[in-house]
Amino acid sequence: MFVSSRKQIDAYNKVGLETGVDGANPYRLITMLLDGAIFSLGRAAQALREKRIGEKGKEISMAIDIISSGLQASIDLKAGGEIAERLNSLYDYMCTRLLHANLHSDLAAIQEVSSLLGEIKAGWEEIANDPAVASRNKVSA
C-alpha cells in the first residue's frame, strides 16, 4: 500500500521534521509524520487562540506540507487498492480543511483535522506494535 521505505525517509526529511529515522520501520515512519502534523496543528490552534496570526499560518502550512508531501506522497495507489484511494482522499480533505482554517481562522477545522490524524495514528501504532508485522518491514540502514 505504501511506496518504498527510502521514499518515506526522503519525504520525512523533506518536510523538515527531526531526523533519526534510519532505523525505523515504515509504520514507525508514518507515525512520526502523523506526530509532526498533530504537533503543528496544536501549535497552530494555540497561536490562533493567542491571535498570533503569522505563527498560525506557518504551523498550518507545516501540517499541510507533512500531510501532502509526507503522508500522501508515501501512498502507493496501485498496490494499496481501495484503502489507499480512500486514505488519499482523506488526506486531500484534510488539506482542504486546513486551507479553510487558515483563511478563516477556524479553530474547529484545525481540531477536526487533528482528531482525524489522531485516529489514523492510533491505527498505525497498532500495526507498528504488532511484532509479526514490524519484523517483516524493517528498513535497512
Burial class, 44, CB count within 10 angstroms (exposed 0-12 / middle 13-18 / buried 19+): buried
Contact 132, 19 (CB under 8 A): no
pLDDT tens digits, one per residue of 67-93 = 999 999 999 999 999 999 999 999 999
Provide the domain limits for residue 81: 25-129
Residue 64's pLDDT is what? 98
The answer to whether residue 10 is domain-embedded is no
The answer to whether residue 19 is domain-embedded is no
The answer to whether residue 95 is domain-embedded is yes
DSSP-derived secondary structure letter, 73 = G
Report the CATH number that the domain containing residue 60 is assigned in CATH: 1.20.120.340
The answer to whether residue 17 is domain-embedded is no
Contact 3, 74 (CB under 8 A): yes
Q: Is the pLDDT of residue 118 over 50?
A: yes
Which of the pair, 64 or 4, is modelled with greater confidence? Answer: 64
pLDDT tens digits, one per residue of 12-57 = 555 544 455 566 678 888 999 999 999 999 999 999 999 999 999 9
DSSP-derived secondary structure letter, 5 = H
The answer to whether residue 8 is domain-embedded is no
Query: What total of structural domains would you count in the chain?
Result: 1
